[in-house]
Amino acid sequence: MKFLATQWPVAALAVLLALGLAAPLAIGDAPVGFYIEVLLGGLMAGVLYSLVALGFVLIYKASGVFNFAQGAMVLFAALSMARMTEVMPFLVALLLATGIMVLLAFAIEKAVLRPLVNQDGAVLLMATIGISYFLDGFGQTLWGSDIYNIDLGISKEPILILDGVFQGGILVSQEDIIAAVTAAVLVGALAVFFQRTPVGRALRAVADDHQAAQSIGIPLNRIWVIVWSVAGFVALVAGMVWGSKLGVQFSL
């Protein structure tokens, strides 16, 4: 009951969701297999968005900054990845792209965040909007503005599962499965990291109060580089999954 009292919006949403899910089955006459396929497709889109959101949450939790540039980071990472895989093996490109995101984190810390320590949240938000524009322009200048493809080497062939259960079975793309698993693993790892480790506690401390965090010996600058690097890596993963599904372009 206490749960209901405090979490009623969540509960209400869950009820609505359940109703929405059940309705097509009750009134429609589409085959159940098809219904589940559509459902999964929707869930996958959700997974993609959640990968982007993960980057947001990460930076917000660890620095109190609402990072407007996360979308631009995803795009930038995806572009880098797409162009580099054209000329080098996948793994090398992945390493290099990770390196680029870490460098980017260093640059952002030095050029943007450091001069703004102890500033208001709104100031930092504006700064990230600036970063976002910069990344868009920089990415296009550096890598070109056409549409590119990332080949993850995963078969795009859908596989048929549960053939025996429903008539016609269910088609799922392997890509989608891998994306979902990746997202789940990332979310799980980061949750453990934030809630259960002392370093996670330190990150939450930084998010709550910069000055107090420094006073207990947490070096803000280093923490920010770490957080933005991890967020950059998450952006890279999101960009790869997304890019391989839809192609990399600026509408991302």
Report CA-CA distances (Å) from 193 to 133, 188, 190: 31, 9, 5
Of residues 137, 160, 197, 250, which one binds other proteins by CB under 8 A? 197
- Residue type (1 letter), 232: G
CB 189 within 8 A of CB 28: no
- Burial bucket for residue 192 (CB in 10 Å: 0-12, 13-18, 19+): exposed
Is the Cβ of residue 50 or residue 214 nearer to other proteins in the bound state? 214
Decide: is 211 part of the binding site for other proteins (CB under 8 A): yes
The DSSP 8-state label assigned to residue 248 in this structure reads B
What stretches of the chain adopt beta strand conformation (E)? 158-161, 170-173
Size of the site for other proteins (CB under 8 A): 24
Structure tokens at 163: 């053939």
Interface positions, 50-109, toward other proteins (CB under 8 A): none
Report CA-CA distances (Å) from 81 to 29, 86, 240: 44, 9, 7
Decide: is 192 part of the binding site for other proteins (CB under 8 A): yes
Interface positions, 219-238, toward other proteins (CB under 8 A): 219-220
Candidates 2-10, 90-98, 197-205, 242-250 — which segment interacts with other proteins by CB under 8 A?
197-205
Is the Cβ of residue 211 or residue 251 nearer to other proteins in the bound state? 211
**Bridge partners of residue 157, in order along the sequence:** none
Decide: is 251 part of the binding site for other proteins (CB under 8 A): no
Could you give the CA distance from residue 135 to residue 225 in angstroms, rounded to a whole number?
Answer: 17
Of residues 2, 5, 29, 196, which one binds other proteins by CB under 8 A? 196
Minimum Å gap between C-beta 31 and other proteins is 45
Is the Cβ of residue 152 or residue 213 nearer to other proteins in the bound state? 213
Give the interface with other proteins as residue ranges (CB under 8 A): 189, 192-193, 196-199, 201-202, 204-205, 207-209, 211-220
